[in-house]
């Protein structure tokens, strides 16, 4: 690793994080030539075990939203199409392996397609969907054991309990820092926070936490006093760039609560530790984190959680993003919107092909944000 990628200066650290978020791991071989990366797709893939296996977790994000690999039909989300196309173009060639978690039907299918048509080695974990079902924790624990064996086979190295405990500590620290960043959210530009959180899913975690700690003085310096922007909650699946958040900011909005897969939801919830078997701590972490729409802890838990979050953050409005062909988020959109509206929070549901917000979205966002500001007056 070259020295410039471990800066101690606050502004340099911030610059590094923004760069990493923008590169989405594309320059990893130059920046971290001695590191071995392991790709993963979803926040439900336990990063702790990747780290304990001596690997660095890299969230796989597409470099284009217009890719059309022959293996997938057009009516499939651009995240799956884009990342599979990159596999075909050998962009993930250096990865030790790629981890799939069964969350949505598309990810489940992508795992099989990848194994059949890609070159990378794939590893699956199938967590329970019904997280509070009888026997779910026991099953999850057994699945983690299986995953551990698969990672051991992949790296040809035994993964010690101590290594898992250390990984738990590192991940807990990362999540704590992300939570501190989330506190600064109302006073900092929304795309900046979103970018910094994304970097934490792409960079080696030690380097990330180091750079994030260093960047806090610069961030606090940048923080503005209370503003008159329209306060919004954003809920979405993966967003691989800051386009939407930039547009919200530009049009007079400020994201005060972020429920996106690649945003704060990835870090939210607690990391527990101290169990004799560290895998039990991992089960608890992933069973208790605020659920994505693919998981069920109880019928209305996710809807209630987001409604409460919006109220706690004094959000005036909520922007519900449905990424084209993302079924779990599309299913929840109607109920979530209804619940928020009943609680006096205006909503806008936007369908995006990928992460980029275009002219049509700008018009709708502008009208929505202006209505929030006008409503407040």
Partner 1 sequence: MHTTKEKRRNYRPLVSNKALQQTMGSYYALTSWHRYWGKFLRRPLAWVTSGAPVELLRAFNIHCAYPEQYAAIYSARKATVDLCEVAEAAGYSQDLCSYARSNIGGVLRPDLAPLGGMPKPDLLVACNNICGTVLKWYEVLARHFNVPLLVLDTPFLTDQLTPQVKDFVLEQLYAMAADLEEITGRRFNEKKLAEQMNLSRKITSLWIETRQYCQASPSPLNAPDLFINMAPIVVLRGSQKGIDFYRKLKDEVKERVELTQGAIENERIRLVWDNIAIWPQLFSFYKMFSEKGACFVTDTYSGGWAVEQAPGTPMESMATTYTEVFLNRSPKFRANQLINLIKEYRADGFVMHSNRSCKPYSLVQEVIRKEVMRETGVPGLMIEADMADPRAYAEEPVRNRVQAFLETFDDLK
Query: Residue 360, interface with partner 1 (CB under 8 A)?
Result: no
Q: Of 275-294, which residues contact partner 1 (CB under 8 A)?
A: 293-294
- Using alpha carbons, select from 278, 128, 271, 257 the residue that is nearest to residue 197: 257
For partner 1, the closer of residues 309 and 333 by Cβ is: 333
257: three-class secondary structure by DSSP: strand
Report if residue 120 touches partner 1, rule: CB under 8 A: no
Smallest distance, partner 1 to C-beta of residue 113, A:
5
299 binds partner 1 (CB under 8 A): yes
- With binding defined as CB under 8 A, does residue 324 bind partner 1? yes
Q: In Å, what is the CA distance from 141 to each residue of 136, 166, 292?
A: 8, 19, 20
Edge-first strand order for the sheet with 37-40 is 56-59, 37-40, 98-101, 122-125
Task: Tell me: does residue 73 bind partner 1 (CB under 8 A).
Answer: yes
Does position 333 interact with partner 1 (CB under 8 A)? The reply is: yes
Cα separations in angstroms, 206 against 31, 125, 149, 212: 14, 25, 24, 10
Pick between residue 331 and residue 375 the one whose CB is nearest to partner 1: 331
Number of residues that bind partner 1 (CB under 8 A): 54
Q: Would you state the structure tokens that stand for residue 215, as one six-digit string?
A: 């960047």
Q: Does 154 bind partner 1 (CB under 8 A)?
A: no
The per-residue DSSP string of 9-42 comes to SHHHHHHHHHHHHHHTTTTHHHH-TT--EEEE--
Cα distances (angstroms) measured from residue 62 to each of 81, 349, 354: 8, 23, 9
Check residue 178 for interaction with partner 1 (CB under 8 A).
no
CB 99 within 8 A of CB 115: no
By CB under 8 A, name the one of 149, 228, 300, 304 that touches partner 1: 300
Q: How far is the CB of 76 from partner 1 (least distance, A)?
A: 6
**259 sits near partner 1 (criterion: CB under 8 A):** no
Integer Cα distance of 15 and 12 in angstroms:
5
358 binds partner 1 (CB under 8 A): no
Q: Does 111 participate in binding partner 1 (rule CB under 8 A)?
A: yes
d(CA 68, CA 74): 7
Question: Which residues form the interface with partner 1 (CB under 8 A)?
Answer: 70-73, 75-76, 80, 102, 104-106, 108-113, 115-117, 124, 126, 128-130, 133-136, 138-139, 142-143, 146, 293-294, 296, 299-300, 322, 324-325, 327-328, 330-335, 337-338, 349, 351
């Amino acid at each position: 690793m070259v020295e410039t990628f471990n800066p101690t200066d606050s502004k340099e650290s911030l610059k590094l994080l923004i760069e990493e978020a923008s590169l989405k791991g594309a320059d990893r071989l130059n920046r971290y030539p001695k590191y071995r990366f392991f790709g993963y797709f979803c926040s439900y893939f336990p990063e702790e075990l990747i780290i304990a296996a001596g690997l660095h977790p890299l969230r796989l994000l597409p470099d284009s939203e217009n890719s059309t690999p022959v293996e997938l039909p057009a009516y499939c989300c651009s995240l799956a199409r884009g990342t599979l196309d990159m596999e075909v173009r050998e962009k993930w060639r250096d990865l030790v392996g790629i981890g799939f978690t069964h969350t949505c039907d598309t990810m489940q299918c992508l795992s099989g397609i990848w194994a059949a048509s890609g070159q990378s080695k794939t590893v699956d974990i199938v967590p329970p969907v019904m997280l509070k079902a009888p026997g779910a924790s026991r099953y999850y624990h057994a699945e983690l054991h299986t995953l551990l064996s698969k990672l051991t086979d992949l790296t040809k190295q035994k993964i010690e309990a101590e290594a898992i405990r250390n990984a738990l500590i590192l991940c807990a620290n990362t999540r704590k820092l992300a939570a501190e960043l989330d506190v600064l959210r109302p006073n900092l530009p929304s795309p900046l926070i979103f970018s910094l959180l994304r970097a934490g899913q792409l960079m080696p975690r030690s380097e990330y936490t180091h750079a994030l700690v260093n960047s806090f003085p610069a961030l606090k310096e940048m923080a503005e006093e209370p503003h008159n922007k329209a306060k919004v909650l954003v809920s979405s699946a993966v967003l691989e760039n800051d386009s939407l958040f930039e547009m919200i900011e530009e049009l007079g909005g400020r994201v005060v609560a972020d429920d996106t897969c690649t945003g704060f939801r990835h870090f939210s919830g607690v990391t527990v530790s101290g169990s004799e078997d560290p895998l039990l701590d991992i089960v608890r972490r992933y069973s208790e984190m605020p659920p994505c729409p693919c998981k069920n802890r109880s019928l209305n838990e996710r809807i209630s959680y987001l409604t409460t979050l919006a109220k706690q953050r004094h959000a005036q409005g909520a922007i519900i993003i449905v990424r084209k062909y993302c079924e779990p988020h599309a299913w929840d959109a109607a109920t979530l919107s209804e619940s928020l509206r009943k609680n006096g929070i205006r909503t806008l549901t936007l369908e995006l092909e990928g992460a980029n917000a275009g002219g049509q979205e700008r018009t709708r966002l502008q009208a929505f944000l202006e209505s929030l500001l006008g409503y407040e007056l």
